[in-house]
Every structure is written in C-alpha cells, then in structure tokens.
C-alpha cells in the first residue's frame, strides 16, 4: 500500500481573508509552517498587524447589519452549499490536515467528518433558533421571547484539531446571524485557509467570515476590542484563564476550553478484547494531543492476576503501534505536531522517572516506519506504579504517555479523579450497569464515557467540561451554541 | 504487512473489488454467452466500493478506533485474477467461485473484527459479504449447468 499523494506541492504564502478579499499582510514577521513528519516547509504564515485585525473587526461589524437581516433559511442555504463543498473536498482537506499537523489519515478524515457534522447541525437553524410565546399572561396580554444575534464573534484556534475546532463554533455563529473572525493556530493554519476558500465559494457575503493569521498579539486585540461580542477559545488552562479574565473585564461572552487530565478506569469485569483498542485510540490517537485523550489508566481491583494480564495486553498492543508519516495508510500514530511539543513530553518523561514512576515502555528513541527525520517523532510511553500526587499524574502532558495506576475499588478510582484539578472527560470500562451508573452519576467531569475511549460529543450535544478544563456557562456545539450566540429578547404586548 | 487501520482495510477492499471487476470484464469478453451477467458483476463491484466508502467516510470520526480496528493479514485473501490463454469456461467459473469465496471471507472477517469498534463500516462489510455469497450461488449454478 502506497503513501497517499500529498495535496500541497509547493510552499504556500498564506493571506488574510478580510471582507471577502484575500489580503496580503503587511507584517514583516512570518512563520514557517512545516510538515512535522517530513520536516518539509508547507507554507509561510504572517503574524498580522494590529491594523489588519481592526480591519477585520470593522468589516465583520459592518457585514453584521445585513447578515442579521438575512432570513435564517437563506443563511442555512449558504451552510448547505458549504456542506456540499466540504464533502466534495473531503479527501483534499483531510490530507492537508495530515500534512500540517502530522495525524494519521484516518484521524484527519475523522476530523473532517466531525467538522462537517457541525455545519450539518447548524443548517437546522430555522428550527433551532425559534423562540417561544404564551398568550394571556394576563387577560389580553401576550408574552414572547425571540433569539437575536449579537454581532461579531472571534475564535482563537488551537493546533491540535486545526480544521475541526473552529467549526465547533463558526457554523452556529453564522447560522444565528452573527459574523465571525477566526485566528487559526500559526502552527497549522492551512486547512483553515482552505475552509475559508470554500466559505467564500458557498456565497457567504463579504465580511461575514474572516480569517486573520497571527499569534498572541492578534488574539489579544480580538479579545480586548469592544466591538467583539464574544470569544471562543480552545487551548491551555493557563492561557484560557487569562482569556476568560479579559473577556470578563470587557463584558464579553466566552467559551473557554482548557487543559485536561483524563482518567480511564478499567473494572475487573471489563471485556478486555474490546477495551484494548479503545484504550489505544484514547491514549495514543492524535499522538495524545487532544483534550479528550486518556492520560491516567486506573486498573481497579486487588486481583494481581487480572492487573498483570490486563497490563500485559495493554503493553503488547502499545508496543505494536506503527509510528510514521500519517499519509502512509499503515501508520497508527503520527509525529508530535512540533519540536516544542516533543520536548515538553520528554521533560515530563524525565520527571516521571525522577519521581520514581516505573518506565516500562520508553518512547523517547522512536522507531519510525519509513525514512523520516525523528525531529518530532516519539513512540508511545507507558509508566507503571504512578501515584496521583506525581507530576505526570496531575499535569497535562499532551503527548503519547500513559500513566498506569491501581485503585482497590471504584470509590478509590473516583477519589483519584476528583483529586485532579481538571474535569474534561473520564471513562469507565465495565460490564456492570451498576458500576457504570455510579460512575456517570458521581464523577465530576463534563464528558463521561462508558466503554468509550474518546468521549467526543456529537455536534448536536454540547462539548462539556468542568473544573479547570472549562470556563464559561454555555458550551460549544448543539443547543448550547445556539444560546451562546444569541441574546434572548422578551416582548410583552397589549393592544388597546 | 498486517492491516490495522480502517483506511488500509478500505483500500484493500477497493483493491479486491477492482481486481475482481477486471477479472469479470475479461470473462465477459472471452465468454460471450454470459456476457451480460459478468458485466453486471462489474457494475455491482463499483456499487460495493461506493457503499463501503460511503459508510467509512460517513462515520469515521476521531472518537472511534479507526487506527486500531483491524488485525487482518492480506496474504490470507490473495485472489488470482489473470486468465491464462487456454483457460476453459468451466475453469474460469471455478476460479470465479474461488475469488468470490475469498472476498466474501474477507468481508465477513473484517466485519467480525471491527463490529464492536467501528460504526456502520462492519454493517456495510456484512452486506457486501452477503451479496457476494449470492453471487457465488449464481456462479455455482452456471458451473453445474456446464457440468450437466
């Protein structure tokens, strides 16, 4: 089986998309976008100037006036066209993601599909945005609530799902009649540029959707500008906390999705054969670079035999994972997206050793399928005898590292989860309905999995999160997103 | 090389469909008495590829075990599709039945392995396996007719 053809053949010079025009940035500061597997340059991305961000905000503000008056059905039709264009470009978009991010082609296609699902759900806006009313709240007086768009929203995108994450928000923002500015991650902004090209082709009016490239400065301008009505952010908790604070200071709505440390709890009655592949996907899928990744594997029970057998099965599967370039269909795990990311993971592995966790699979000297530089590559790493107070058990590593822990029973496993600051996701693997019910009822995490390795909510459900993993009230996706992007207005009427 | 990823399994299924379609195209040219039947097999193969791809592209997400759903050795499903110069109609039919058996087995095995992991993909595999089994019956009846 051959390596799939690369869709990017030459180094791209990326432009901003402002007011329906592709505009070259005047900035002198340009970053290189590099394929993490091959280390070949893919694009040059500008760190846009403050003026360019302001231009985008003004264009979006101006476009809002007409766009909000565009009937929801007409707005939905733009989304229907976009959906069709996305389907037609499905493979192209997926391969770009593999090239710019490093993930495997199956993972990229999964990301594309999830992104399209957001657009599909948002096409239901004529129904989703309906208000409600009641006649005769007093004799002859009626009351109704309508949902209205607010204005310009901005999204600060992460690098780990460069195509999908902005789509958690933009289709809902656009469908509800708002206008939108996205700042893609400068590490992998290409799929966002391709998406904007399709949005343009789908017929969204100029200024309704804008793309401004850049880093922290662009993000700050967007977050602090008074004409931005709300911000959605996905990234680390440390930065997310600052974003949330700034949004509060400037009276903006915010959805801030931060870091995670997800526990996967395996009960002694689990179906081992079905559990192992789910764990592989959870711990090592996307090279561990996702907020829903498994991080701590808690094996429950005092039966040493079960513990040993389960761990052996886990280690056996882990050691067989094929690491290489994601466009090779045989590959199960790609490289880290950046050298920085790899170095961070290496530091955590060293910390784990220092804190006396037992390193049983060391991924630091990677075996790679194919002739690629090891610059960003790691193999999966597994630690045993990890305790909840160790740094590797507490902090987000954001890489392919599994920390194996033991709990004597479910209560102790839940205590471990609650001892952690984060609350993004947790899963239990069991055949016991009682244990599963107890788990979903008690565990303080936003996304609960029962025999599910990656608890990724579908587009019509909110992407939840608790504790230090989420700041805000409403979440992205689904009905929450509709409420986030609209203001409720109450009308009470009486006719004399 | 084992097939572990969903992408690889889909590519392998496509390869089997395309190779067997080419085989039936050749049969249709060589043995005109069942030309229409063999050409209908070619068309069916195209439809199967579409059905499988549609199922895969429709449900693949980052949340399911796309990279860990299979453990298949493609060597177990090698089909011989080249017709030799003097191969008789009887031999060709016999070969077609063997091809269908192998392809059907591939789909059944792939569906079984991925049933608890993937979503609609195993269902699409099972559907095609069933259709291939029906095709085998048709081919067997032709063979019996030939023997009789």
CATH number at residue A134: 3.40.605.10
The yes-or-no verdict on residue A342 having pLDDT over 70 is: yes
Does residue A121 share a domain with residue A27?
Answer: yes
The reply to whether B33 touches chain A by the CB within 8 Å rule is no
* Fold classification of B6-147 (topology level): Ferritin (1.20.1260)
Q: Do B60 and A109 touch (CB under 8 A)?
A: yes
Q: Do A104 and B61 touch (CB under 8 A)?
A: no
Residue range A264-286: average pLDDT? 96
Number of Cβ within a 10 Å radius of residue A44: 14
Of all residues in chain B, the one with the smallest CA distance to A160 is B62
pLDDT in tens, B10-45: 999 999 999 999 999 999 999 988 999 999 999 999
Tally the domains of chain A.
2
Q: Do B7 and A105 touch (CB under 8 A)?
A: yes
Q: Do B61 and A455 touch (CB under 8 A)?
A: no
Least Cα separation, residue A307 to chain B (angstroms): 22
Nearest residue to A278 (alpha-carbon basis) of A326, A327, A324, A313: A313
The yes-or-no verdict on residue B74 having pLDDT over 80 is: yes
Does residue A247 share a domain with residue A128?
Answer: yes
Q: Residue A123 domain-assigned?
A: yes
Does residue A300 share a domain with residue A201?
Answer: no
pLDDT at site A1: 60
pLDDT in tens, A291-340: 999 999 999 999 999 999 999 999 999 999 999 999 999 999 999 999 99
Nearest residue to B7 (alpha-carbon basis) of B118, B101, B130, B131: B118
Does residue A271 share a domain with residue A252?
Answer: no
Does residue A254 share a domain with residue A280?
Answer: no
User: Sign of the CA dihedral A384, A385, A388, A389?
Assistant: negative
Does residue A79 share a domain with residue A209?
Answer: yes
- Nearest by CB to B67, from A114, A271, A285: name it: A285
- pTM of the full predicted structure? 0.95
Q: Residue A464 domain-assigned?
A: no
Domain ranges for chain B: 6-147
Provide the CATH number for the domain around residue A292.
3.40.309.10
Among A106, A164, A165, the strongest candidate for a mutation testing the B interface, having the largest count of B CBs within 10 A, is: A106
> Which residues of chain B neighbour A1 with C-beta distances below 8 Å?
1, 8, 11-12
Does residue A268 share a domain with residue A252?
Answer: no
Q: Tell me the three state secondary structure of residue B13.
A: helix
pLDDT at site B148: 73
- Nearest by CB to A106, from B1, B58, B67: name it: B67
> What are the backbone angles phi and psi of residue A457, rounded to the nearest 5°?
-65, 145
Among B7, B8, B74, the strongest candidate for a mutation testing the A interface, having the largest count of A CBs within 10 A, is: B7
Q: Residue A460 domain-assigned?
A: no
Nearest residue to A177 (alpha-carbon basis) of A57, A73, A55, A85: A73
Does residue A90 share a domain with residue A124?
Answer: yes
Q: Do A281 and B1 touch (CB under 8 A)?
A: no
The reply to whether A322 touches chain B by the CB within 8 Å rule is yes
Q: Residue A444 domain-assigned?
A: yes
Nearest residue to A469 (alpha-carbon basis) of A181, A237, A268: A237
Residue A445 appears among annotated catalytic residues: no
Q: Residue A234 domain-assigned?
A: yes
pLDDT in tens, A106-126: 999 999 999 999 999 999 999
| Residue range of the domain that includes A363 | 262-450
ipTM (interface pTM)? 0.91
pLDDT at site A319: 97
Does residue A408 share a domain with residue A353?
Answer: yes
Active-site residue, from A78, A247, A291, A445: A291
pLDDT in tens, A370-428: 999 999 999 999 999 999 999 999 999 999 999 999 999 999 999 999 999 999 999 99
Q: Do A114 and B69 touch (CB under 8 A)?
A: no
Nearest residue to A117 (alpha-carbon basis) of B115, B119, B57: B57
The yes-or-no verdict on residue B117 having pLDDT over 80 is: no
Does residue A164 share a domain with residue A21?
Answer: yes
State the residue for tokens 């280390």.
Answer: A39
């Amino acid at each position: 089986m051959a390596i799939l053809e690369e869709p990017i053949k030459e180094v791209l010079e990326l432009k901003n998309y402002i007011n329906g025009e592709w505009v070259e940035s005047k900035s002198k500061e340009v970053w290189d976008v590099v394929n993490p597997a091959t280390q070949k340059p893919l694009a040059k991305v500008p760190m846009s100037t403050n003026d360019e961000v302001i231009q985008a905000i003004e264009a979006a503000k101006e476009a809002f006036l007409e766009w909000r008056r565009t009937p929801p059905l007409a707005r939905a039709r733009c989304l229907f066209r976009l959906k069709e264009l996305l389907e037609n470009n499905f493979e192209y978009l997926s391969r770009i993601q593999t090239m710019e991010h490093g993930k495997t082609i199956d993972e990229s296609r999964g990301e594309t599909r999830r992104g399209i699902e957001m657009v599909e759900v948002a096409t239901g806006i004529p129904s989703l945005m309906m208000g409600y009313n009641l006649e005769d709240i007093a004799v002859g007086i009626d009351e109704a609530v309508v949902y209205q768009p607010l204005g310009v929203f901005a999204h600060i995108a992460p690098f780990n799902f460069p195509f999908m994450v902005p789509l958690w928000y933009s289709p809902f923002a656009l469908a509800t009649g708002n206008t939108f500015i996205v700042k893609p991650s400068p590490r992998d902004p290409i799929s966002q540029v391709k998406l904007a090209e399709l949005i343009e082709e789908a017929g969204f009016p100029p200024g309704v959707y804008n793309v401004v490239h850049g880093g922290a400065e662009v993000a700050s301008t967007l977050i602090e500008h008074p004409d931005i009505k709300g911000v959605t952010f996905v990234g680390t908790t440390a930065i997310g906390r600052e974003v949330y604070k700034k949004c509060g200071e400037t009276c903006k709505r915010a959805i801030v999705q931060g870091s995670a440390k997800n526990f996967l709890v395996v009960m002694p009655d689990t179906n081992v054969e079905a559990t192992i592949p789910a764990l592989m996907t959870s711990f090592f899928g996307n090279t561990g670079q996702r907020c829903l990744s498994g991080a701590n594997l808690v094996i429950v029970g005092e039966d040493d035999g079960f513990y040993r057998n389960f761990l052996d099965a886990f280690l056996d599967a882990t050691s067989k994972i094929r690491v290489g370039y994601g466009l090779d269909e045989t590959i199960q795990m790609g490289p880290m997206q950046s050298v920085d990311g790899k170095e961070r993971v290496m530091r955590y592995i060293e910390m784990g050793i220092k804190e006396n966790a037992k390193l049983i699979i060391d991924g630091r000297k990677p075996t790679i399928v194919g002739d690629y530089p090891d610059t960003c590559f790691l193999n999966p790493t597994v630690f045993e005898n990890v305790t909840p107070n160790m740094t590797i058990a507490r902090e987000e590593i954001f890489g392919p590292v599994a920390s194996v822990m033991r709990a004597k029973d479910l209560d102790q496993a839940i205590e471990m989860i609650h001892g952690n600051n984060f609350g993004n996701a947790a899963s239990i693997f069991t055949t016991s309905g009682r244990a599963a019910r107890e788990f979903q009822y008690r565990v303080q995490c936003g996304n609960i999995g029962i025999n599910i390795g990656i608890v990724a909510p579908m587009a019509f459900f909110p992407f939840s999160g608790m504790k230090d993993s989420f700041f805000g009230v409403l979440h992205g996706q689904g009905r929450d997103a509709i409420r986030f992007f609209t203001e409720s207005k109450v009308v009470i009427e009486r006719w004399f | 090389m084992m097939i572990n990823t969903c992408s690889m399994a889909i590519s392998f299924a496509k390869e089997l469909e395309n190779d067997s379609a080419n085989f039936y195209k050749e049969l249709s040219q060589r043995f005109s008495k069942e030309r229409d039947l063999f050409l209908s097999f070619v068309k069916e193969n195209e439809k199967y590829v579409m059905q499988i791809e549609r199922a895969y592209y429709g449900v693949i997400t980052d949340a399911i075990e796309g990279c860990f759903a299979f453990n298949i050795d493609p060597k177990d499903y090698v089909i011989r599709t080249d017709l030799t110069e003097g191969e008789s109609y009887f031999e060709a039919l016999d070969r077609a039945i063997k091809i269908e058996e192998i392809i059907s087995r591939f789909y059944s095995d792939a569906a079984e392995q991925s049933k608890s992991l993937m979503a609609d993909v195993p269902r699409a595999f099972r559907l095609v396996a069933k259709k291939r089994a029906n095709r085998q019956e048709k081919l067997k009846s032709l063979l019996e007719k030939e023997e009789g």
